[in-house]
Amino acid sequence: MTLTVKTRIGKKFAIYLPKAVVKGLSLTEGEKVLLTVAGNTLVLETLRDPIQLALSSKKFASITPEQVEAISLEEQTRHTKHSP
């Protein structure tokens, strides 16, 4: 997506994003963003919540509770062998 819009700096240097930008990036109020300054360029990147990403993205693997338990027991055994 490529979108260029003009906006103004508000009180306390707030930058108000136009609706087209908010919709284009699927932003919601309170969401975190990363601002990067390079020379005279300001880059805004969305920072998605990892939990929300995991819940909403396409699933590509599966694991059963039994497999989780087996891996957990293996790791516990491995760590107790190396403990003083």
Are 16 and 7 contacting, i.e. CB atoms less than 8 angstroms apart?
yes
**Domain range annotation of the chain:** 11-81
- Residue 84: predicted pLDDT: 66
In the three-class reduction of DSSP (H, G, I as helix; E, B as strand; rest coil), residue 42 is classed as strand
Cα 66 to chain centroid distance, Å, stands at 30
Residue 49 has pLDDT above 90, yes or no: no
User: Residue 14, SS3?
Assistant: coil
Q: Does residue 83 carry a pLDDT above 90?
A: no
Say if domain 11-81 classifies as CATH 2.10.260.
yes
- Whole-model pTM? 0.53
Q: How far is CA 9 from the centre of its chain?
A: 26
Task: Pull the structure tokens for residue 72.
Answer: 């957990």
